[in-house]
Amino acid sequence: MKLADCGSTWTKILDVESDSLEIITTREMVRRNGSPFAVATGHSAEKRCGIFKNELLALAEGGLSFVDKDDFSIVDVGGRDIKYIRFKGRKVKKIDWNLACGATTGVTIELLANYYEIDFSSLESVDSWINVTCGVFGMERVLESVSNGESPGRSVAEFIHGMVRNVFNFTQRPSELYLSGGFCDNKCFLDSMDKYCKVIPLGRAVLIEGLKNEIKY
Amino acid sequence: MENLKSKKLIGYYGFPERSVLRSVRERFGSDLEFIDLDVARGAPDSMVIQSTTCRIIANIVDNAMELSKRLTAIVADVGEGKCDRGRYAAFLLRKTGFNVIESRFPPEQFEKRPLVYSTAEGSLAERVDRIMQTVIQSPSSVNQTRACEPTHGFWGVPPHDFRILDIFPPTTHIYGWTRCVEAGSPGDLEMECYVDENVPTVFFTQSFCAKQDLAHHLAEKYDGLFVDCHRDVNNSILSKVEAFIKLSYPSR
């Protein structure tokens, strides 16, 4: 039995029997066109699963599985959107989901990094930032910065810092924030986030964890 | 627009003063039907205004251009109950050749009518639609319905795409500009900002609408959900609202 979190750019697949997590591009998942997942969430999942679960519901249940505190905030930063939940007494107090305008910043970072051949493992965070109103406006600022003589690495680091500021504001400026998604592996993002609050990365399987309740009986 | 092809009409948008609506009818013909130009009616894009414009304003202009000569007059709400873009739309439509009559609905004419549909139980889309019909109907023609305790709230203007309303439970109360319309007080900012603070509320606006500032402020203040949407709703927006409805509950 397979559970999947099919994001816009990355798909995370959990084989329940072997407890192994496979992470592939969503492009590859679409190309495989295999048998439907038992339970799935994510933008690209709805037509490819037996049971579809809303992403925010998956994040809520996954967050509660990973974190044993009564009051906490969790954010999932994806390629296309940002999902946020604040719990009080382990009940949902506030949710938000950044879509369309103001979103698509995650995938823009990947596009920029691929274009400029940037290695995130060695990219240092910077104190300056650019305004990342949305992926398109942010990319325009990076291209402008590089045109004006700035290094691509520093320009992308400024983009990441600008995105971090957006995430911090979007999550209502918490003192501590649990992070879900691919940016848990991005040192520049984590170091930039540390300038604003304590960030605790939970990895890329939080939403999949939130799917497990669907197969319990 | 198939059943409107031969009829002469009076177009209107926003919430014009009733006295202005009456006088326009008396002047141009009491048999002429009113048509709300705010509503999505399948009119093609007229390309008169830029694409990054509130969809409701675009509907007004596109509907007017599509109906064209069938519109004997347009009664334009250009007061505080509408917005600057509504005022500019009146200016542009007049320049295009339409007979535009402006209305401002000043506070001294606010009516303080009882709230029936805003607090009733039943389909949210139907209740929003009925509230908007009260703009041109007399209050006595409003059917009574049963009031309910709210489990959720919808704040905002009638959306361009009503499908977003279909996912709310029947126990959803209506707030914001739509509630002001039912009360007969379309520019009452205090009433527009009122919500039951313990009721989880979705604060909805069209993208590129100035009400986004209010909606964002109120959503932060009351731990509600801010939703903006340009043109038609998509699955992501529906999922966002669906999750909020499932995860939130009144805190009384």
Distance CA A122, CA A208 (A): 29
Q: Which residues contact A200 (CB under 8 A, 6 or more apart)?
A: A176, A177, A178, A179
B166-192: average pLDDT: 97
pLDDT at position A102: 55
Q: Nearest CA of chain A to the CA of B149: how many Å? A: 21
pLDDT at position B9: 96
pLDDT digits (tens, 9 = 90+) for B221-241: 999 999 999 888 888 899 999
pLDDT at position A137: 82
pTM (whole model) above 0.80:
yes
Q: Which one of A81, A94, A101 has the shortest CB-CB distance to B223?
A: A94
State the pLDDT confidence band at A103, using cuts at 50, 70 and 90: low
Domain boundaries, chain B: 2-106, 117-247
Percent of chain A surpassing pLDDT 70: 97
Q: Where are the alpha helices (DSSP H) in chain A?
A: 26-32, 55-66, 105-116, 135-147, 152-170, 187-193, 206-209
Distance CA A3, CA A19 (A): 10
Q: A19 exposed, middle or buried (CB, 10 Å; 0-12, 13-18, 19+)?
A: exposed
pLDDT digits (tens, 9 = 90+) for B92-125: 999 999 999 999 999 999 998 999 999 999 999 9
State the pLDDT confidence band at A131, using cuts at 50, 70 and 90: confident
B42 phi-psi bin (left φ>0, alpha ψ -120 to 50, beta other): left
CATH number, domain B2-106: 3.40.50.11890
Interface ipTM: 0.80
Q: Is A60 on the interface with B (CB under 8 A)?
A: yes
Q: How many Cβ atoms are within 10 Å of A26's Cβ, its own excluded? A: 18
Helices (H) and strands (E) in chain A, counts: 7, 10
How many Cβ contacts (< 8 angstroms) between chains A and B?
Answer: 49
Residues of chain B with C-beta less than 8 angstroms from the C-beta of A99 = 236-237, 240
More confident residue, A15 or A137: A15
Q: Is A47 on the interface with B (CB under 8 A)?
A: no
Test A99 with B207 for CB contact under 8 angstroms.
no
Test A56 with B239 for CB contact under 8 angstroms.
yes
Angle between helices A152-170 and A105-116 (to 10 degrees): 170
Residue B109 tokens, joined: 């004419």
pLDDT at position B140: 59
pLDDT at position B2: 47
